[in-house]
Amino acid sequence: MMVKAKINGLALDVTSNSPVVILAPEDSEKVLPIWIGHFEAWAIAMELSEVPAKRPMTHDLLRRVIETVGGTVQKVEITELKDQTFFATIHLEREGNTYKIDARPSDSLALALKTKAPIFVNEELFQERKAESEPKSEYDPQALKERLRNIKPEDFGQYSLE
């Protein structure tokens, strides 16, 4: 079953130097960390901070192409975790037809923010268990939450927003 979720924040996992996007159901304290690339994290961070880019970034371009051809992003779904890889689907609507596009979660989330589309996550992904997506190390959900809480914004990376 899919549950409506929100982006609860971004952090940098200092043990792997990888950005992490934190998803949470709208009505729960559970979290789902997904390790993503630096470029996608930057795009998500800019959108969350409402910082406009001087020139269109990739996700801005994708949004403009979809809108130009008369389409809308209905929703994005984080659907499954297989072999340490998360999968997502972007649901597009155009002229009464619905299209399901396979995509990376990071791109899906950035596009959802750009288009104000709702985010849904397979409820099973929030279940407490060893996080298959986390780089190989001991997984302790409380320790992860605490480690992510203690990360300062300046730890995220040396990016210029201009």
Query: Which structure tokens are listed for 62?
Result: 């994708």
Residue 131: the pLDDT is 45
Residue 28: the pLDDT is 85
Residue 17: the pLDDT is 87
Residue 97: the pLDDT is 97
Residue 133: the pLDDT is 45
Q: How far is CA 115 from CA 32, 60, 67, 106, in A?
A: 22, 9, 9, 14
Cα 133 to Cα 131: distance, rounded to the nearest angstrom: 5
User: Which residue numbers in the chain have pLDDT < 70?
Assistant: 128-162
Residue 137: the pLDDT is 39
Q: Per-domain residue ranges for the chain?
A: 2-155
Residue 63: the pLDDT is 95
Q: How far is CA 150 from CA 37, 73, 138, in A?
A: 20, 34, 19
Q: How far is CA 138 from CA 18, 36, 150, in A?
A: 17, 19, 19
Residue 141: the pLDDT is 52
Does the domain at residues 2-155 carry the CATH identifier 1.10.10.10? no
